[in-house]
Chains A and B, each alone.
Chain A
Amino acid sequence: MTAEQFVFVVAALITLGSAVGMVTSRSVFVGALWMIAVFGGVAALFILVGAGFLGIVQILIYIGAIAVLILFAIMLTPRVMGDPNAPRYNRQWPLVAVMTTGLAAVLTVLVLRTDWPLAQEGTPVITGFAVELGKGFMTTYILPFEVASVLLLVALIGAIVIAREE
């Protein structure tokens, strides 16, 4: 097993383990902390693929901005912060268990059967990722770039309208 494979296994285990922890945690705040660990694991996976820029952006945006936003939301709603003794299961759990197991089985079969296009052995990792991205933004993908700014504007206005109405 090469070093890269080893790091991949570790990163994957961290991501999956944290995801499980996030879903099964008793308090919402701890769940949010597990979520941050998931983001960190995903960032490591991005870096392993060679998209270092995206990995750093993952940490910057997801951990630095979105996770903080979610933590703020959790801290500002007292009832959510509260009751660790609330019931964790309701009466529909057998049906849900069957459905999720079925879904997991379908997905597993799908993933194993698909003919994924793999990179050839020895394909060089992209260097200068951010530069290529920038060039792409300005030439081929200029429309999505500008639409993204409009999207951000809409998000900003929408958030302010909703937040100010209370």
Chain B
Amino acid sequence: MQALDRLFISIGRAFNSFLSQFLPPTAVTVIGMFLSAIIISTFAALVFMFLTWLERKFVGRMQDRIGPNRVGPFGLLQPIADAIKMFTKELITPEGAHKVAYNLAPILAVAPVMMFFAVIPFGRDMVAADLDVGVLYLVALSSATEVAILMAGWASRNKFALLGAMRAVAQMLSYEVPLVLILLALVLMAGSMQLTELVAAQGVPFALLQPVAFLIFIVAAAAELNRTPFDIPEAESELVAGYHTEYGGMKFGLFMMAEFIAAFGMACLVTTVFLGGWRPWIIPLPSWLWFLIKAFAVLFVFIWFRGTFPRLRIDQLQAFCWKFLVPVTLLNVIVTGVVVTFFPIVRDGQIVVQGAGGWAVTTVVYFATSVVFGLIIAWLYRRPTQQALRQIEVGRPAARGLSQEVQAA
């Protein structure tokens, strides 16, 4: 079990010592860095291909249909067919498009999401770059993708693309604020921005200590990723295909890749900061396997959202962000600050919670505070919630007094 856990580390070390036999140490380090970058990026790309199949299968099943099943057993070779299609489709550049920006945009969209995985701890001691400002680095990368989207929208010389790009970026900007504020509360609890420290501080997963923040984070993450129910920027009936209207073939494939890999990256982030990262839960499996299991569980929740919820309008989604999520997450930071003062998890850089009893007390206190906080918020926002529920009621055919036949149709 120990050997399996350290499998990748052992392989890496063996490779390093093999290279050191005939190369100077600097060259070995540099090659090691690039090799880890290439391997992790390729892994992300493979996850992307698998994810396209997973999403279509799961959403299909949720919509009472089978999903891809022609190409290979259970349609598992579908992503390969899609890849071949992407490679061989004609790359039509719209006339009058700004050549350089048009071609650069898909590449600049993929680069930041690949850089995401540099700081994620995939297993025990398995992190490519243990950055001491890891959390902030991840947020900065999400900001960088917005620039690529604006470039794509403008360079296409297409009204719909421009509009779609601006809407997508406005949405991503808005939802970054609650995302960052929740991460702030978690950083406060763990006393560090370093992702490995965040995993180390989770004797109990932070999802249990801050359930309300966990739920809000999942929602804000879905919005940040432009996924349903927040996928107005790419909804077919709304703005054609949004900012990637004028992109065909592989360039469109790159935008898809950027989006799905960002989803996987966000799932990895959720796993690391909320679900305890690679820490095993009861069953002893290798740490990296636990990490993948948890990350895919989070991805499943994102896919589940897609198959279940209708889309939010742009004004609804912006109001939800600025009038609900931002004040709530800001208050959450303050509340967490108060609780951390009296029940600290980390003090002076060391974890101060002792043993199972200490963790039990900590869990109960934080969980109770979070639940009370959530109830107070629900009470404060009761009138808008009732209004929204009433609007959904009014939309139902029975409520509008329509005849039985129309209702059945």
Q: B361 contacts the other chain (Cβ, under 8 Å)?
A: no
Q: A141 contacts the other chain (Cβ, under 8 Å)?
A: no
User: Cα distance A162–B137 when bound, in Å?
Assistant: 33
Within 8 A of A (CB), among B129-181: 131-133, 136-137, 139-140, 142-144, 146-147, 150-151, 154, 162, 166, 169, 173, 176
Q: B98 contacts the other chain (Cβ, under 8 Å)?
A: yes
* Interfacial chain B residues near A42, Cβ < 8 Å: none
Interface centre among B98, B143, B173, B193 (most CB of A within 10 A): B143
Which residue of the partner chain A has the closest CB to B138?
A56
CB distance from B326 to the nearest CB of A (A): 13
Q: B101 contacts the other chain (Cβ, under 8 Å)?
A: yes
CB distance from A69 to the nearest CB of B (A): 9
Q: B26 contacts the other chain (Cβ, under 8 Å)?
A: yes
* Interfacial chain A residues near B139, Cβ < 8 Å: 60
Write the A32-72 contact mask toward B (1 if CB under 8 angstroms, else 0): 01001000000000000000110011011001110110011
Which residue of the partner chain A has the closest CB to B26?
A3
Is the pair A52, B101 in contact by a Cβ cutoff of 8 Å? no
CB distance from A70 to the nearest CB of B (A): 10
* Interfacial chain A residues near B173, Cβ < 8 Å: 65, 68
* Interfacial chain A residues near B133, Cβ < 8 Å: 52-53, 56, 130
**What is the size, in residues, of chain B's interface with A at 8 Å between Cβ atoms?**
24
**What is the size, in residues, of chain A's interface with B at 8 Å between Cβ atoms?**
23
A-B contact number at CB 8 A: 61
CB distance from B175 to the nearest CB of A (A): 13
* Interfacial chain A residues near B143, Cβ < 8 Å: 59-60, 63-65, 68
Within 8 A of A (CB), among B91-140: 98, 101, 131-133, 136-137, 139-140
CB distance from B269 to the nearest CB of A (A): 16
Within 8 A of B (CB), among A50-102: 52-53, 56-57, 59-60, 63-65, 67-68, 71-72, 75
CB distance from A61 to the nearest CB of B (A): 8
Is the pair A68, B132 in contact by a Cβ cutoff of 8 Å? no
Is the pair B140, A56 in contact by a Cβ cutoff of 8 Å? yes
Q: A127 contacts the other chain (Cβ, under 8 Å)?
A: yes
CB distance from A131 to the nearest CB of B (A): 8
Taking A53-B133, A57-B140 as given, write out 7 further A-B residue pairs in contact, using a Cβ cutoff of 8 Å, ordered by the A residue number. A29-B101, A29-B154, A30-B98, A60-B136, A72-B166, A130-B132, A130-B193
24 A-B contacts, Cβ less than 8 Å apart? A33-B151, A52-B132, A52-B133, A53-B133, A56-B133, A59-B140, A59-B143, A60-B143, A63-B147, A64-B143, A64-B146, A64-B147, A65-B143, A65-B173, A68-B143, A68-B147, A68-B169, A71-B147, A71-B150, A71-B154, A72-B169, A75-B150, A75-B166, A129-B132
